[in-house]
Amino acid sequence: MLQEFKDFAMKGNVVDLAIGVIIGGAFGKIVESMVADIIMPIIGAITGGIDFSNLYLSLGAKVAAGTGYADAKKAGAMLGYGNFLTFVVNFLIIAWVLFLVVKAMNKMKKAEVPAPAAAPEPSDEVKLLTQIRDALKK
């Protein structure tokens, strides 16, 4: 049973999937940082300095104006639409990058022209018949 598990775990697809998950996690962190540290501050500057991570709507709890989202959540139910907007931007960036990767891979596949197949070597029987035909022509 241990050998069967080892054979399963070492199959190419399982190892490829594990590598893909690890790289995907790292890629997710890169995109998250790009959105949080580059894109959202630019959007915040364009919209007048709004910090999207602190945009929320109180659902009944009394919260002082200017309270951060994390502190406001402690006071009661909050609708944190700023975080939602950040995650939507994350998703759109990831989807766009994956679209570009798939498009590039498809383009590379089309660019690969298969080498023309060499004519198969004639069988011994065909060679013999060819020699007989050539001899009869003479």
Tens-binned pLDDT, residue by residue, of the chain (138 aa): 888 877 777 776 777 788 888 988 888 888 888 887 888 788 878 888 777 777 888 887 777 777 888 788 888 888 888 888 888 887 888 888 888 888 888 888 776 666 677 778 888 888 888 999 999 888
What is the pLDDT, as a whole number, of residue 113? 66
Cα dist. 17→9, 11, 30, 68, 94 in Å?
11, 10, 20, 40, 19
DSSP state string for 66-86: T--HHHHHHHS-EE-HHHHHH
Q: How confident is the model at residue 41, as a pLDDT?
A: 82
Place of tokens 């929320």: 56
109: its two tokens: 């596949």
User: What domains are defined for the chain?
Assistant: 2-137 (1.10.1200.120)
pTM, to two decimals: 0.54
